[in-house]
Amino acid sequence: MTAPVQSHPPLRHAALAAAGIARRNLRTALTTPSLLLPPLIAPLVFFAAFCGGLSVLADAPGFQFTPGYVAFEFVFVVVQGAVFTGIFSGLTLARDFESGMARRALVAVADRRAIVGGYVLTALGRAPVTAAALYLAGLAAGMPAGGVIDMLVLFAVTELLAAIGALWASGIALRIRSVQGAPMMQMPAFLGLYLAPAFVPLGLLTGWLHGAAAVNPFSLYLESGRGLVAGHPVRTAETLAVSAVLIALLTLWALRGLRRATAQAS
Amino acid sequence: MRRSLIQLRWLARRSALRTLRRPAAFYPSLLFPLVLLVITTGGLHLSEHVPGFPATSYFAFALAGAFVQGALVGGVNAGVDLATDMQTGFLNRLSLTPTPRRLVILGELAGAVVLALSQAALYLIIAVASGVRLASGPGGAAVVLALTVLMSLAFSSFGAFLALRTRSSEAVLGTFPLTFVLLLFSSFFMPRALMHRGWFATVAAWNPVSYLIEAVRGLVITGWDTGALARGFAVAGGLAGLAVALTALTLRTRSVAA
């Protein structure tokens, strides 16, 4: 496959290509309800179900979270929503391989890393919408508003999670090149999220689940997120450092997938 | 009559084998309820200490949800399989044979019910092996299986109805998230008596899935709770009757061939 002629400096060309892919994806998502609504509605449904059905857990012995159970679950669904927004972006890439769009992008873009960048940007563009919808739902359900700085940090963390989800799912999409890879994108994230302190604090988990949750990076996101909502930030620096490591590793994962996809297409 | 039964047996056999030969579709629907059961038990076992919680083991309490979830997902799969048969032209070819249309659908449904029954038997074995003792004894296990048959018939018939209406496996598969909504807004995680939020308790009370779960749950943790059983069988029977009627009506007006 020959690289196309460049009319801009390489870095600027890559940035323009990534922005173009993201703009196209976001426009498609905004004008296609079947793409726009599921990533938005699913976390709201989980939020309503967990707050409505499980709020009795706040009465369990040892459960202490001053802002209340709605706020406790808000952090879980906001983390889940961000990760799955990223995964939906990877799923879009898989769908684009099926339709031929991604192969055309492989031919058209000189620095093909911009393709991965474009789908990550798509996730970054969508994640705040999901987080904002969940925040408004939480406020409507009686959750305290929280401090402005704390909430901004929480929203920034959701952006990092969306990037992590998008890089993970893009790596799968670039290897499988079909939406049939969807379970492989979603299942590990689903298991990772629910093997963390999803419904009760880490200290109240026992047995094997406590062991799994203690080493699960999602537990860190939940703990720091809940600290931010409660106005007592905990482990925020650690969360940012782990995010940086995960993003670096998953970038390598996605770029290796890109190399495979390029080799297959040429 | 004898010929019809032979045709039905072969169609049911094909339906069950076809599902078993697609591990990517079958194993997630078999294993996912168990995975969810294990995860929710780990995360929600604290509920055992909440005043008024009706069981000493959350695993035993949550077990009922796995049976209903298995039947729901199996119903979607049955619909997807039927729609796929329509899209690939298998039913076209079958329509050239003397096999009656209703037998084709019945064969698909029978295959789905046999799989659901095997799945439920497996869940019971795993539950007993995990230390759950059914409060209603071995007779209760038989009733769980009977209820599973009825639930599977209901959900598979809804799947078949959707397949006949849409002729698209993607459209039927698109109803999968609805199964989650039905489970999440029911007494899947908690008994209705412990739902603190009034609106959620109301939704759960209107959700037929709550009564299916509570009928199975009663047999597992309470014993012979005739009220819960009567409601469970009435809901499962009602849903099955409605779904079969809708499927039969659709079959009368639409050809199974593409």
pLDDT tens digit sequence for A137-196: 999 999 999 899 999 999 999 999 999 999 999 999 999 888 778 888 988 999 999 999
DSSP designation for A207: H
pLDDT of the residue at A251: 97
Contact of B181 with chain A, judged by CB distance below 8 Å, is answered with yes
Cα distance between residue A215 and residue A97, in whole Å? 35
Residues of B in contact with A180 (CB under 8 A): 24
Contact of A179 with chain B, judged by CB distance below 8 Å, is answered with no
How many domains does one find in chain A? 1
Cα distance between residue B152 and residue B154, in whole Å? 5
- B257: pLDDT strictly greater than 60: no
Report which of residues B87 and A139 the model is more confident about.
A139
- Burial of A180: CB neighbours in 10 Å, binned 0-12, 13-18, 19+: exposed
A11-15, A49-53, B22-26: range with highest mean pLDDT = A49-53
Is the complex ipTM more than 0.85?
Answer: no
Digit-coded pLDDT (tens) for B25-77: 677 778 889 988 988 888 888 888 888 899 999 999 999 999 999 999 889 88
Cα distance between residue B91 and residue A34, in whole Å? 29
pLDDT of the residue at A249: 97
Digit-coded pLDDT (tens) for B174-195: 788 788 899 999 999 999 999 8
Say which of B42, B184, B204 has its CB closest to residue A209: B42
State the DSSP string of chain B.
-HHHHHHHHHHHHHHHHHHHT-HHHHHHHHHHHHHHHHHHHHHHGGGGGSTT-S-S-HHHHHHHHHHHHHHHHHHHHHHHHHHHHHHHTHHHHHTTSS--HHHHHHHHHHHHHHHHHHHHHHHHHHHHHTT---TTHHHHHHHHHHHHHHHHHHHHHHHHHHHHHH--HHHHHTTHHHHHHHHHTTTTSS-GGG--SHHHHHHHHH-HHHHHHHHHHIIIIIS--HHHHHHHHHHHHHHHHHHHHHHHHHHHHS-S--
CB environment A114-148: b (16+ within 10 A), e (fewer): bbbbbbbbbbbbbbbbbbebbbebbeebebbebee
pLDDT tier for residue A49 given thresholds of 50, 70 and 90: very high
Digit-coded pLDDT (tens) for B105-136: 888 888 888 889 999 999 999 999 999 999 99
> Which residue range forms the structural domain that includes residue A248?
11-265
Average pLDDT in the B223-245 region?
A: 95
Residues of A in contact with B44 (CB under 8 A): 54, 57, 199-200
pTM: 0.84
DSSP designation for A233: -
What is chain B's length? 258
| 3-state DSSP assignment of residue A235 | coil
Digit-coded pLDDT (tens) for A96-122: 888 888 888 888 888 889 999 999 999
Say which of A53, A199, A208 has its CB closest to residue B195: A53
Residues of A in contact with B184 (CB under 8 A): 45-46, 49, 53
pLDDT of the residue at B114: 87
Give which of A50, A54, A55 to mutate to test B binding, by max B Cβ within 10 Å.
Answer: A54
Give the minimum alpha-carbon distance from A224 to chain B in angstroms, rounded to a whole number. 19
- Mean pLDDT of chain B, nearest integer: 87
| 3-state DSSP assignment of residue A66 | coil
Cα distance between residue A187 and residue A136, in whole Å? 28
